[in-house]
Structure 1
Amino acid sequence: MKKTFFSVLLLAGLFFTSLAASAQDANFYIYLCLGQSNMEGNAPYEPQDTLVNPRFQVLSAVDNKDLGRVKGKWYPARAPLCREHTGLTPADYFGRTMVENLPENVRVGVVHVAIGGCKIELFQKDKCEEYIKTAPDWMLNMLKEYDNDPYGRLVEMAKIAQKDGVIKGILLHQGESNTGEKDWPEKVKSVYESLLADLNLKAEDVPLLAGEVVNADHGGTCAVMNDIIDTLPQVIKNCAVVSSKGLSCAADHLHFDAAGYRILGRRYAAAMLNMMGIKLPTTEDVIKNTVEASSNMHGCDFPRLDKENRAYFRIYAPDVKRLQVDICGKKYDMDKDEFGWWTVKTDPLVVGFHYYFLLVDGFSVIDPMSTTYFGCSRMASGIEVPEGKEGDYYRTQNVPHGQVRTCTYYSETQKRFRRCVVYTPAEYEKNTKKRYPVLYLQHGMGEDETGWSTQGYMYNILDNQIAEGKCVPMIVVMESGDVEVGFRPRPGKDVNEERNLYGASFATLMINDLIPMVDKTFRTYTDRDHRAMAGLSWGGKQTFDITLTNLDKFSYIGGFSGAIFGLDVKTAFNGVFADADTFNKKVHYMFLGCGTEENMGTAQLVKTLRELNIHVDFYESQGTAHEWLTWRRCLNEFLPHLFKK
């Protein structure tokens, strides 16, 4: 009977043990993070640091009212991870890099306890109490959040975490307050062994990663401590040291800045993954699995694109302290290796053309490995993220090719020389007696007369359509439009009035100087039935302003994401829309287009015009915003309708 009773107890114990084990997710990897201010996080975090993959979690070690976190609960690991009023920490980008390089079914969690300015003794069980007695006043409130026992809080939270996942490693960043102490590695060893014992962990399963302090190459105040930190693997077998070489720092040369923390975090992850047998891609791996961007300078291997349209950049700049890639306003910190090469991989980019810059120690420059384009009111780098076969209409094909030439002319209106870009079709040079219709094609704000031929590939679009018989052969003229520098209202002036003046000088110049020069220089038809104008963004506004007040000179009108706002269509442009019948007879074709992902009011304008019985064709580019891919598509739709009346 006794034997049966104990058998039942044994079976019951096994049953409940099994239930407990089933709650633990073997694919939830937990990492303990401890140390002083650089682990705590000293740099202010930025908006990009608050967006995080939900597979990366933090177990809050304290209550955080700012973020609505409760001690002992899991939350998405957005900054700050430590406590209220702390900043970016290496743990932030450690976790992000881990989930990026681990299988989709694996989650990563961090348990984060750190105290700025503390010595390693604060985490030694037998030294903590004595250390707190001598702690400075500014540290007391931080200690109080951990009930004056940061080590105990770390163990308490780690035990909660163990119910949900498996502890896979320990991350330490500490040493500034112990600078010069040669017995520091032994003290770290005692903390490490205490954690293993208290959490029933095995050293071979749970490596320790320790990061160097701000390096001598950035004038690190405590850089001499790195020689001591580097000896840690001699004391702890399953240990690796994470280099701080090349990492940028704050003005105090004691703490890393945000860029430094991001890169340091990725280095922690690279070391941990390496210990797990997972190698981050080498340059050779990247080259093998990606393709050069078509916008690269000839012979340059980078930038590159993978199948998910992530861009890879690689720059050699050994003396630079901080390097970033800025793509359309989103900044990516680049990681510097020991040889002076900086690399980064971006998020997936949407197809189409993107301006970008390199930020070298905060100063914006172009990438020497990319073709340059005039955009953003200056020369800019650009990267072309390719469409599939649907983009062949703007790619070079095996068809007769026209010419794009630069023409210099003198403007009597402005008393200065100006420049325009002119496309002539492939047949123009062959038949010297034939005349051609003209399309005046304008770019947007902050771009110049080269935009349509470089960013827009208009010459390919024309060549391909003419070869296929989709559009008639025509001359295309592109001018700067006096909008190369972005809109800047003069101090003390009415903003709306200033906006109406912006680029307005082009109207007089076009009528008085540009059109006469083109008609004199090229074999054109000079009547309104053979003259069109179209423009993108601010060029769309200029198109409306010029054509609708000069219908004796234009009969085809196009606006691509046109900056045409607040029109009273019944009275605008001297009431040109009030008499629909007259307008429709004069204007052979009017086209308005935009992208589905932008909000330029184009659809509403079309609706309003159609309610007045104005004939207007409308096109929406699916999935694109205020960008060159939208405008290439608009031009492709617009051209077949020109000069066929």
Structure 2
Amino acid sequence: MYTSKSFTKFCSSATLLLLFCTGFTFAQSSNTYSVKSWFGPPAPTFSPVVAADHHITFRLKARHASDVKLLFGEWNIKPQTMTKDTAGIWSITINPVEPGIYSYVFTVDGVQTLDPVNPVTKIGTQLYSSIVEVSGNTPRFDEVQNIPHGTLQIHRYLSTPLKQLRGLYVYLPPQYYNQPTTSFPVLYLRHGGGDNESSWTQAAGRADVILENLIAAKKAVPMIIVMTNGLTDGSWAGGSNTKGLKDLDEELTTDVIPLIEKTYRVKKGRESRAITGLSMGGGQAFVIGLRNLDKFAWIGEFSAGLLSDKDFNADEYAPNVVNSTLNQKLKLLWIGIGKDDPRYPGHLDLVAMLNKRNIHNEFLAIPGGHEWTVWRIELAGFMQKLFK
């Protein structure tokens, strides 16, 4: 309890503290920080710059380099020499190109590099290239448009044959949420040897965009797309040899399909499942599909090296299957290839074999090499045939 004497002592101490604080002088602030520059107009694009007439200008800062070249495209690439200005900026403007998605890289004194100011890249098992997109007056079939859009989901699961956690991507069309009581057919879509489960939905693949555009144009049935990892040991061989194909077959049928059918509203009959893929994944889709005709009624492949090999024997991979009885079991067998691809002659042999055995197939050979330009077109054609 305070006494009169103690209260007087407390007040005297407080008065001294107050006098001390008020007598202290703070140093003048030297803060020069400002956000005014944040509100100016954005800086112009440095590289790449797409002009209205579809010329493209590429630039790279490399003051100390002595030789810089542009490698534009995915197939039959011809290096183009760039020129340096007094600020050490190398540049080149290429001739107009058709609307599309293009890959490019630079070489700096012989060392390949991506465009450091362009975040859009082609990736898979490694970073491959930078990407530039050229729009046209009419939106392309593989260009994002102002239409209803679906969603992408990612899952992890334990692979029974590989005994490791694996990833897969699932694309759900906009109708999946707009029609909550509807079940949907499923396309199992496989990637190539240098890619992974995300590649078909990256800037180069655009499977989700292609399907959305087709659905909006009423050219394709709304479907779910499932994209798994087709590599077993990180190599093309591991995804194409006898053991690899056996493991991937078991993984798809034992782990993936049950997971999808437990998680999503899907139609479960074989007539509501399709499988296709590009390159390594095309070989996988062809073989796994033929081995599981009780599960798939729609099979396709694009540019598969395995099927193009001069020693390929379909009967070794799918015994007692590749005969005219396929016509009663399959709704579609699709074969696709670029005419400039070294696999093209092998695909002609494959189609000739199928025709000789009176097996119905649809063969689409288009200009282009072993590249995404071809595979996007092939996928669009394949999708328009499915589940009808």
Which TM-score band (shorter chain)? 0.7 to 0.9
Please tell me whether residue 363 in structure 1 is matched to residue 108 in structure 2. Answer: no
Shift of 1:533: 0.3
Please tell me whether residue 584 in structure 1 is matched to residue 332 in structure 2. Answer: no
- Do 1:569 and 1:575's aligned partners in 2 also have CA atoms closer than 8 Å? no
2:298 to 549, 556, 560: 556
CA distance in 1: counterparts of 2:382 and 2:332, whole angstroms: 9
- Larger Rg: 1 or 2? 1
2:221 to 466, 472, 493: 472
Query: In the alignment, which residue of structure 2 is the partner of 1:539?
Result: 281
1:529-576: CA deviation from partner (whole Å, max 9, x where unpaired)? 211101111111111121111111111001122221233346651031
Query: In the alignment, which residue of structure 1 is the partner of 2:369?
Result: 625
* Cα separation, partners in 2 of 1:442 and 1:319, compared to 1, 3 Å: same
CA distance in 2: counterparts of 1:386 and 1:479, whole angstroms: 29
The 5 Å alignment of 1:230-379 reads 300-305=45-50, 311-327=56-72, 328=74, 330-346=78-94, 352-375=100-123, 377-379=125-127
- Do 1:357 and 1:365's aligned partners in 2 also have CA atoms closer than 8 Å? yes
Please tell me whether residue 382 in structure 1 is matched to residue 123 in structure 2. Answer: no
Shift of 1:325: 3.0
The 5 Å alignment of 1:500-539 reads 500=241, 504=245, 505-539=247-281
Query: In the alignment, which residue of structure 1 is the partner of 2:378?
Result: 634
Query: In the alignment, which residue of structure 2 is the partner of 1:460?
Result: 209
The 5 Å alignment of 1:105-116 reads none
What amino acid sits opposite 2:211 in the alignment? L
SS in 2 for 1:559: strand
- Do 2:236 and 2:280's aligned partners in 1 also have CA atoms closer than 8 Å? no
Query: In the alignment, which residue of structure 1 is the partner of 2:188?
Result: 440
- Do 2:287 and 2:317's aligned partners in 1 also have CA atoms closer than 8 Å? no
Shift of 1:447: 1.4
1:349-381: CA deviation from partner (whole Å, max 9, x where unpaired)? 676444333334443332122234344741133
1:439-459: CA deviation from partner (whole Å, max 9, x where unpaired)? 011121211222211212111
What amino acid sits opposite 2:117 in the alignment? M
SS in 2 for 1:404: strand
CA distance in 2: counterparts of 1:568 and 1:471, whole angstroms: 33
- Aligned identity (percent) is 33
SS in 2 for 1:575: coil
CA distance in 1: counterparts of 2:240 and 2:190, whole angstroms: 18
- Do 1:481 and 1:503's aligned partners in 2 also have CA atoms closer than 8 Å? no
- Do 2:190 and 2:277's aligned partners in 1 also have CA atoms closer than 8 Å? yes
Query: In the alignment, which residue of structure 1 is the partner of 2:350?
Result: 605
Shift of 1:609: 0.5
1:120-169: CA deviation from partner (whole Å, max 9, x where unpaired)? xxxxxxxxxxxxxxxxxxxxxxxxxxxxxxxxxxxxxxxxxxxxxxxxxx
The 5 Å alignment of 1:77-226 reads none
* Cα separation, partners in 2 of 1:371 and 1:592, compared to 1, 3 Å: farther
Shift of 1:614: 0.5
Shift of 1:305: 4.3
Query: In the alignment, which residue of structure 1 is the partner of 2:8?
Result: none
Alignment coverage as a number of residue pairs: 336
- Do 1:448 and 1:483's aligned partners in 2 also have CA atoms closer than 8 Å? no
CA distance in 2: counterparts of 1:299 and 1:553, whole angstroms: 53
Shift of 1:299: 6.8
Point out which structure has higher relative CO (alpha carbons under 8 A, 6+ apart).
Answer: 2
* Cα separation, partners in 2 of 1:422 and 1:357, compared to 1, 3 Å: same
Shift of 1:318: 2.7
- Structure 2 spans left out of the alignment, 5+ residues: 1-42
Shift of 1:596: 2.9
CA distance in 2: counterparts of 1:443 and 1:571, whole angstroms: 23
Structure with the higher fraction of residues in helix conformation: 1
CA distance in 2: counterparts of 1:442 and 1:391, whole angstroms: 26
CA distance in 1: counterparts of 2:47 and 2:192, whole angstroms: 28
Shift of 1:591: 1.0
What amino acid sits opposite 1:437 in the alignment? P
Shift of 1:625: 2.2
CA distance in 1: counterparts of 2:187 and 2:224, whole angstroms: 6
Query: In the alignment, which residue of structure 2 is the partner of 1:616?
Result: 361
SS in 1 for 2:79: strand
What amino acid sits opposite 1:463 in the alignment? E
1:232-289: CA deviation from partner (whole Å, max 9, x where unpaired)? xxxxxxxxxxxxxxxxxxxxxxxxxxxxxxxxxxxxxxxxxxxxxxxxxxxxxxxxxx
CA distance in 1: counterparts of 2:267 and 2:378, whole angstroms: 25
Shift of 1:583: 1.2
